[in-house]
Amino acid sequence: MTSLIDPYSRQIDYLRLAVTDRCNLRCVYCMPPEGVPHLRHEDILTYEEIVRFLRIAVQAGISKVRLTGGEPLVRKDLDYLIREISALRPDVDISLTTNGILLAQQAEGLAAAGLKRVNVSIDSLDPDTYRRITRTGDLAKALAGVEAALDAGLEPVKINVVVLEHLYDELEGFADLIRRLPVHVRFIEYMSPCGVFDSSYYVSAEEVKNRLAAFGKLESSEPPVGAGPARYFSLPGTRGKMGFISPVSSHFCPECNRLRLTADGKMRPCLFSQDEDDMREILRGSGDDAPVLEAIRLSLSKKPRDHGGFTEPSGRKMSQIGG
């Protein structure tokens, strides 16, 4: 295996792959109520195209692949894709970010196919608040998905929580969750450039951390597998940890190791830059792998040093990029 190094000497080994732009929820911070215009079916990369792209990317140095969306579990036969990725190289670290609504039915099959771990996005543990934030979601289904992921042996299971003001009333509930279950809760700062709200909804992860101190002393802690940019802490008597992801207040660009591929095959070297390279056209244009590899390297060469302080809109919403 070779390696992918960007112009700032960062080694890039992580690909976030959006398998669809469709979603069964309409989270208030991520989408307008009517959703976002859907890509046409023929514009979305087929599983065969994704696997071909990944074969080339894995040979070039990608060793971690996160499936995301939209909601990845609404795309049919995701277990098939996971099995095909595992067959490329068994040690590829395959993970999933999902809202969990369809996870209870799928967790076992996904784990059997080679999925290693999962992040489930649950912003509230109060059924009414959860429904208000997701506009349509049933909290019981998402929590059943978490239980099913644990039963299927997916490890670790992390809960993603976007930090908005409602959260102050919920910290006790999340502290209780990691007392009851071996899951890690990660508080993620709201990123306005690819969200629906403006930045006035932003609350810093540090503020949440300070308020969590009311539930016991937070001790700095070893991160679980695949921690990425999160800083982790443990609370007394808990089975899981609390993580804080602060892309806004203390950005982690110097350690960034990721590239992104959208469902329609656009490679984005940075979540917050509008730069995109069209991999779909290249994949559909020729059976030769060399131009695909060249395009990956070209995209990498455009990876910016940092997100530049969020001065520019990101061009697409989070559900269209994959978070």
Q: Applying CB under 6 A, which residues contact ligand SAM? A: 23, 29-30, 68-69, 71, 97-99, 121, 160, 162, 188, 190-191, 194-195, 318-319, 322-323
What's the 3-state SS for 49-108?
HHHHHHHHHHHHCCCEEEEECCCHHHCCCHHHHHHHHHHHCCCCEEEEEECCCCHHHHHH
If you compute the radius of gyration of the chain from its CA atoms, what whole number of angstroms results?
A: 19
- Please tell me whether the peptide bond between 156 and the residue prior to it is cis, using omega within 30 degrees of 0: yes
CB 280 within 8 A of CB 40: no
The site partner of 194 among ligand SF4, ligand SAM, none (C-beta below 5 to 8 Å per kind) is ligand SAM
- Give the side-chain half-sphere CA count within 13 A for 143: 14
Among 4, 31, 78, 92, binds ligand SF4 (CB under 6 A): 31
**Least CB distance to ligand SF4 at residue 135 (A):** 8
Closer residue to ligand SF4, CB minimum distance, 4 or 27 = 27
Across the chain, the runs of DSSP E, i.e. the strands, are 14-18, 64-68, 93-98, 117-121, 157-163, 184-189, 219-220, 231-234, 242-245, 258-261, 266-268, 277-278
Among 56, 57, 58, 70, binds ligand SF4 (CB under 6 A): 70
**Least CB distance to ligand SAM at residue 290 (A):** 32
Site for ligand SF4 in 281-320 (CB under 6 A): 318-319
The site partner of 160 among ligand SAM, ligand SF4, none (C-beta below 5 to 8 Å per kind) is ligand SAM
Strands 277-278 and 266-268: antiparallel
Among 23, 57, 148, 282, binds ligand SF4 (CB under 6 A): 23
The site partner of 190 among ligand SAM, ligand SF4, none (C-beta below 5 to 8 Å per kind) is ligand SAM
- Three-class secondary structure of residue 14 per DSSP: strand
- Three-class secondary structure of residue 268 per DSSP: strand
Among 4, 25, 85, 104, binds ligand SF4 (CB under 6 A): 25
The site partner of 31 among ligand SAM, ligand SF4, none (C-beta below 5 to 8 Å per kind) is ligand SF4
Return the structure tokens found at 95: 């993970």
**Least CB distance to ligand SAM at residue 20 (A):** 9
The residues pairing with 233 across neighbouring beta strands, listed in sequence order, are 220, 242
Q: How many chain residues touch ligand SF4 (CB under 6 A)?
A: 13
Closer residue to ligand SF4, CB minimum distance, 7 or 313 = 313
Site for ligand SF4 in 104-163 (CB under 6 A): 121
- Rounded to an integer, what distance in angstroms lies between the CA atom of residue 261 and that of residue 19? 9
| Tokens 């996870």 belong to residue | 103
Among 20, 95, 99, 314, binds ligand SF4 (CB under 6 A): 99
Closer residue to ligand SAM, CB minimum distance, 104 or 162 = 162
Q: According to the binding rule CB under 6 A, does residue 30 interact with ligand SF4? A: yes
Contact residues: ligand SF4, CB under 6 A: 23, 25-27, 30-31, 69-71, 99, 121, 318-319
